[in-house]
Structure 1
Amino acid sequence: MSHIKFGTDGWRAIIARDFTFANCRVVAQGIAAYINSSNLGKKGLVIGYDNRFMSKEFAEECARVLVGNGIKTFLLKKVSPTPVTAYAVHLRGAGGGLVITASHNPAEYNGIKYIPDYAGPAMPAITDAIEAEINRVLETDKIYELDLSEAAELALFQEIEVDNEYINHILKLVKCEYFKGKKIKVVTNPMYGAGVGYLDRLLGELGCEVRTINNHRDVLFGGTMPEPVSRLLGDLKRAVVSYNADIGLALDGDADRFGIVDNSGRFVSANRLMYLLLDHLLNTRTWRGPVCRSAGTSHMLDRVARGNGLNMIETPVGFKYISEAMREKGCIMGCEESGGMSILGHIPEKDGILASLLAVELMVYTGKNLQELTDEFNQKYGFSCSERIDIKVSSGDQQTIMEKIQAFSPKILGGAKVASINEIDGRKIIMEDGSWTLIRSSGTEPVFRVYVEAENEARLNEVKEEVLGILGLDHHI
């Protein structure tokens, strides 16, 4: 069999080719060995699963291995979003969690993700240790299993439900009183994924008028990918306009990331929503503390934080680093430009359901639509626009481009003086006028990501074109 690479998002592979019951047993045995060697076995482990093809069956296969290793296993009774599984880990005080999910990947994929006992993304030290255990299993071919009915008799296996507890927890984080007497029309789109039923229920309890699309299981995801990005949300945009709704909310395949459409059917970037939300949270909560964002996320968050006397913590790209800052630094909000965020009082895991509800809270509190809120924000903090370009290159060109990036130290970029260069993740160049660019390698495939933010589109394009030209990436677009 091929090598199993286990990272922060766990292991993902194509069903039947590599993602098989046999390989799931190998990964589950590796996780079981890690749990027991870390003295977490007595706390038990939660298993959740998404709406993908045979996810429940793969979850049960993993459960048989875990109980075979003497680990009490709590299997969620129904399809559950990743943040719900993470909350179950927190609620049960479990030693960790395992989720059968491939998140926003195409339909032919499935995966196994590990959630540590702190109910957030696994750090590299943990995933490296799990991968080492998986490799030992491949060498020894020793896997321990137990039938689930026998495990139940031995009090090693239990099916659980945590939806009510999760929903009650979310409703404590949202200001429910702002919704009273307010009329707002929302269209939700769980994209056939694990988030089916969650937003409708929560918004209904808050008194919103809700229409929903793509709200049933479809293992082919309507022939597309369950990723809430602008190009894949055409049906949500049309539905918002057709129903004359105030906002459209989308979730990815495991509901940990969000996508937003405004009342005119236009996509709202995660960057924009998150700086609007930070401003709103600081106006409506009494929180004090640092804010954290990834290196590729909008610096408009920094302006909001500074304007309120708060520090900004910049992390490498990846929610695991934001989660770490939230746990260790007491951050009141953590966010990344790809649509992941969490707030004070919640688990340190990104949650698209919570983010979506906060977007609606913002609108009912102010009585304004997202464009009006953006215009007000721009008057207060200034204007900005941002873009991320993903560029696939040949494996032969990858090393040459990497060398160019490492040597890229301009004094002037796009006509503005360079103020600083940092290497927290890739190469980030910040200009004196506040514009910036980050160039980084994907790390898992021959793809380079270029992030740019500037005060207007003309300036953004100027910086972008110069960076792509100097690094020779313009030929690969």
Structure 2
Amino acid sequence: MTATTTRAGTPAQESDLIDVPALLRAYYDLIPDVTNPDQKVAFGTSGHRGSALDAAFNETHIAAITQAIVEYRTSQGITGPLFMGRDTHALSRPAETTALEVLVANNVRVLVDEFDDFVPTPALSHAIIKYNAEGHDDQADGIVITPSHNPPRDGGFKYNPPHGGPADSDATSWIANRANEIISAGSKDVMRGEPSAVETYDFRRNYVEDLVNIIDVEAIKKAGVRIGADPLGGASVHYWQLIAETYGLDLTVVNPNVDPAWGFMTLDWDEKIRMDPSSPSAMASVLAHKDDFDILTGNDADADRHGIVTPDGGLMNPNHYLAVAVQYLYTHRPDWNPEAAIGKTLVSSTMIDRVAESLGRTLWEVPVGFKWFVPGLIDGSVAFGGEESAGASFLRKDGTVWTTDKDGILLALLASEILAVTGKTPSQLYVELTEQFGSPVYERKDAVASKEQKARLGKLNGSAITATELAGDPIIARLSEAPGNGAAVGGVKVVTDKAWFAARPSGTEDVYKIYGESFVGAEHLARVQAEAKVIVDEALGN
């Protein structure tokens, strides 16, 4: 990350807040020019995102994307209900209204929340999977309207096919291309109607009452774990209260406020309001309560990410918690397939590799993007999938699929189960892992790159790396394809016995990201990072 600025971690001021009415007006008033790359429909790893103020997320976009989704699901023979939910971003409500008008006009059976409540991403994934496991003659899919942890000015729109997880690149490319065609032709192919006869579904209760089949809630209750949960103004706000009531847990919703401007947040590292539960700056107000609870957690706006705070360790690094979660789950889920692999993304900590080896489990290393874990979670061949960006999910106690999208509520509850069962906090257990496997130092930095350089990096082959050493140690791997599934990583990863770095182009800024980790120490990591930039620049011909 870039250097922390002076206001990072301090409360947002009036000047930091968006003008919500102006943002909503822009959604309807601005017409995008899809010949402009910044205004066309473009699906990243988690859907189409942008701001109405930049003509990047407007009524025109959402109507065209929804029409394209209708045509896509028809082409795939998907005729069941479409579950739809939204988060607490200001643009999510108008986008939901637009999408409903298009879906109803196209005679799609749509299910929205029974209480007009916000719907976390994992609850929507759970609903799709539940319906499709019930033996219906048709299959359900879904749309979740969220830009995840992005700033309040942004909107997001994501399609989840019948497997319940993020759509793969074949589907998103088809949908994006068709949506841009529709807009270019004046949106005449978009059908619109009054969203009057829409069905409802109780996402909240269906999700919460099923948690007993994946989390040992009885152990948490018996141990009397004092839990604090901060939704960070996001979609999980009413879920936490129902979890407390349903299972009789000592659980306090630390901040139940929902504000589309997020005026109660502390500023992130770059002085922006960003609901990232893995960021110490964004979580500063939550951390003020760390001594009030045994386990304190945070979620982002759609609750697909988690932040874990303990009295002894503060906010855990996501990599540290993922390693602890893997160690705990694979030794406390006796009904899981003994051959089930451990899933991690290419830029997650090597600590997970060492834990996997000690457990005698196969490590399944994939490119960045939770979509890669979907097939394994569905068939049980991967029992846990996690990303360094604080997103993960795992299987039910019986080894069957729970969600195929990231579940921040689940991972937050797991921290309390770990404490209840082991008597130790996740941060204490991580210290034990470092005593066994070493203590890695991990960091991500950004380096300036033009669009052309980013494009070259995204297609770079590992064989283009000519260096033989990294920070004084022999290079043992130069990867441009993930070891787990052979898929292109969209960059490169260079590995030694003591360290690694990975370089990937940013999808939103003119930089590339350098991830690095060293089991030697901070000075060694700094050397790895410096040499990484030289190695990548040489490979790019800079």
- TM-score normalised by structure 2 residue count: 0.80
| 8 Å contact kept, 1:195–1:251 | yes
Q: Distance in 2 between matches of 1:166 and 1:404?
A: 42
- State yes or no: 1:84 paired with 2:128: no
Q: Distance in 2 between matches of 1:256 and 1:182?
A: 27
Q: Distance in 2 between matches of 1:414 and 1:257?
A: 33
Aligned to 1:431: 496
Find 1:36's aligned residue among 74, 99, 113: 74
Aligned-pair CA distance for 1:206:
4.3
| 8 Å contact kept, 2:460–2:492 | no
Aligned-pair CA distance for 1:441:
1.3
Aligned to 1:252: 300
Q: Secondary structure at the match of 2:103?
A: helix
Q: Distance in 2 between matches of 1:399 and 1:56?
A: 35
Aligned to 2:436: 380
Aligned to 1:240: 290
- Which AA in structure 1 matches 2:359? N
| 8 Å contact kept, 1:35–1:95 | no
Q: Secondary structure at the match of 2:372?
A: helix
| 8 Å contact kept, 1:34–1:133 | no
Aligned-pair CA distance for 1:428:
1.0
Bigger helix share: 1
Question: Are residues 402 and 86 of structure 1, via their aligned partners in 2, closer, same or farther at CA, if it must alter by over 3 Å?
Answer: closer
Aligned to 2:181: 136
Question: Are residues 203 and 449 of structure 1, via their aligned partners in 2, closer, same or farther at CA, if it must alter by over 3 Å?
Answer: farther
Aligned-pair CA distance for 1:470:
4.7
- State yes or no: 1:225 paired with 2:274: yes
- State yes or no: 1:98 paired with 2:162: no
| 8 Å contact kept, 1:89–1:97 | yes
Deviation by residue 1:185-223 (Cα, 9 ceiling, x = unmatched): 222221111111323432554444333333221101225
Instruction: Give the total of aligned pairs.
Output: 463
- Which AA in structure 1 matches 2:127? A
Aligned to 1:364: 420
Q: Which runs of 5+ in 1 are unaligned?
A: none
| 8 Å contact kept, 1:7–1:128 | no
Aligned to 2:101: 64
- State yes or no: 1:348 paired with 2:410: no
Q: Secondary structure at the match of 1:283?
A: coil
Q: Distance in 1 between matches of 2:471 and 2:129?
A: 48
Q: Distance in 1 between matches of 2:332 and 2:421?
A: 9
Q: Distance in 2 between matches of 1:391 and 1:253?
A: 28
Aligned-pair CA distance for 1:383:
2.6
Find 1:198's aligned residue among 212, 234, 239: 239
Q: Secondary structure at the match of 1:141?
A: coil
* Aligned counterparts, 1:443-462, within 5 A: 443-455=507-519, 456-462=521-527
Q: Distance in 1 between matches of 2:427 and 2:154?
A: 37
Q: Which runs of 5+ in 2 are unaligned?
A: 1-31, 34-39, 133-138, 266-272, 396-400, 482-488
Aligned-pair CA distance for 1:315:
0.5
Root-mean-square deviation (CA, aligned residues, Å) is: 2.4
- TM-score normalised by structure 1 residue count: 0.90
Aligned to 1:27: 65
- Which AA in structure 1 matches 2:76? S
Q: Distance in 2 between matches of 1:342 and 1:379?
A: 27
Deviation by residue 1:416-449 (Cα, 9 ceiling, x = unmatched): 111121112211111133x211111124432211
Q: Distance in 2 between matches of 1:399 and 1:333?
A: 32
- Which AA in structure 1 matches 2:517? E
| 8 Å contact kept, 1:293–1:336 | yes
| 8 Å contact kept, 2:305–2:408 | yes
Deviation by residue 1:77-133 (Cα, 9 ceiling, x = unmatched): 311111111212222334311112111111111121111111011100110111232
Q: Secondary structure at the match of 1:297?
A: coil
Aligned-pair CA distance for 1:322:
2.2
Find 2:255's aligned residue among 193, 200, 214: 214
- Which AA in structure 2 matches 1:80? V
- Aligned identity (percent) is 27
| 8 Å contact kept, 1:290–1:313 | yes
| 8 Å contact kept, 1:187–1:236 | no
- Which AA in structure 2 matches 1:45? L
Deviation by residue 1:248-302 (Cα, 9 ceiling, x = unmatched): 2111111001112221462211111011011111221122211111100112212
Aligned to 2:194: 147
* Higher relative contact order, structure no. (Cα contacts within 8 Å, ≥ 6 residues apart): 2
| 8 Å contact kept, 1:405–1:471 | no
Q: Distance in 2 between matches of 1:402 and 1:172?
A: 41
Aligned to 2:355: 304
* Aligned counterparts, 1:106-125, within 5 A: 106-125=151-170
Q: Distance in 2 between matches of 1:403 and 1:165?
A: 43
* Aligned counterparts, 1:276-295, within 5 A: 276-286=324-334, 287=336, 288=338, 289-295=340-346
Q: Once structures 1 and 2 are overlaid, which stretch shifts more, 120-129 or 257-266?
A: 257-266
Q: Distance in 2 between matches of 1:315 and 1:46?
A: 28
Aligned-pair CA distance for 1:330:
1.5
| 8 Å contact kept, 1:44–1:96 | yes
Q: Distance in 2 between matches of 1:441 and 1:367?
A: 42
